Amino acid sequence: MSAGPVGLLDRKLLFVTGKGGVGKTTVASAIAMLAASRGKRTLVCEVDAKGNLADFLGVGPLRFQPTEVRKRLFAMSMDTEESLKEYMRLNLKLPLLAKMGPLARTFEFVANAAPGVNELLTVGKFTWEVRERNYDLVVVDASATGHVVGQLAAPVAINDLVKVGLVRSQTDWMIDILTDADTTGVVVVTVPEEMPVLETLELIERLRGETEIDVASVVVNRVLPELFGRAEEEVFERLRKPDGVAALSARVGRVAAGTGAPDDVADHDVVHDDSAGVDEVLDGAELAVSLRRSRVPHLDRLRDGLPAGLPVLYLPYLFHRSHGVRATARIAEGLGEELGF
């Protein structure tokens, strides 16, 4: 499955966003891991510097300087002050300052006095990496839904304020990269629940109305498969009755004891009481069906509310709370299947 006219991994810059708790960092890590596994030199970066990205990649703390965490995959943590130092060294031809005290105070003053400076330094870092072709793909674990629009709109806002000079020329090429749909896209992550779906639809509307950056795809995380059809559900209902539980418990107990195959067990031949275990299995099946049914209306609302033609990718519910490189690899595998690899 291709994510629109340009395949998701064929772009050069992807901003991954979504409501807090939907798996934004997981998906950003998985996209980067998938791209690297397919031969692309890839950089993945976290913006909020909470340290979660390192956990999902199975590495130690990340810094501003990119670190190769596996073959062709590099990771970093955004630091706007370090970004300013890099900007001054590369664009103003100033030597790297050994004493950061005065610069740090100046940075703090400018960042607080001029709205959008922090965001400009953040977005500028990623667009610069794209411009210099240092990586085949840059994946940004961007701000959550409430802040990402302002972050992405910062270059245009600064460009409108500054009409001449170096800052103007810098924001010109940033905007060119950001608004090129073949180069840059936003990936919005959600889950099939009421509030995340509503926020996703609102975010896409804002991105399309307040920026010219292309929405590359929506990724629906934690989707429950249809494990059981109506016929199976009717069987579960019959097994819920006392006679059904007793018969199933007898069969489970006999097999567990190693005294015969299920077909050899009569309904009255109970080796030991396994009804509690049978109830747990039936409870699990009922829960899976109920969860899926409760999420289907939210998926329908999402599909109905999305712009026509916007690609939607679905990722399975992993049924565990732990996160790390193994979970990221499983999600990357799921993404690869959705993308047709």
**CATH code for residues 8-224+317-338:** 3.40.50.300
How high is the mean pLDDT in each 10-residue block of the chain (341 residues)? 66 96 95 97 90 89 95 94 79 54 52 69 93 96 90 89 79 95 97 96 96 96 70 63 68 54 47 56 62 79 95 85 83 94 88
Q: CB of 81 within 8 A of CB of 64?
A: no
User: Residue 99's pLDDT is what?
Assistant: 47
What DSSP assignment string belongs to 40-72?
Answer: --EEEEESS--SHHHHHHT-S---SS-EEEETT
What residue segments make up the domains of the chain, in order of their start? 8-224+317-338, 230-289
- Global pTM reads 0.79
Written as one letter, the residue type at 176 is D
- Give Cβ neighbours of residue 84 (< 8 Å, ≥ 6 apart): 103, 107, 121
| Stretch (H or E) spanning 30 | helix 24-37
Q: How many residues does the chain have?
A: 341
179 contact partners, CB below 8 Å, separation of at least 6: 212, 213
pLDDT at residue 189 in the model: 97
What integer pLDDT is reported at residue 321 of this predicted model?
Answer: 61
pLDDT for 98 equals 41
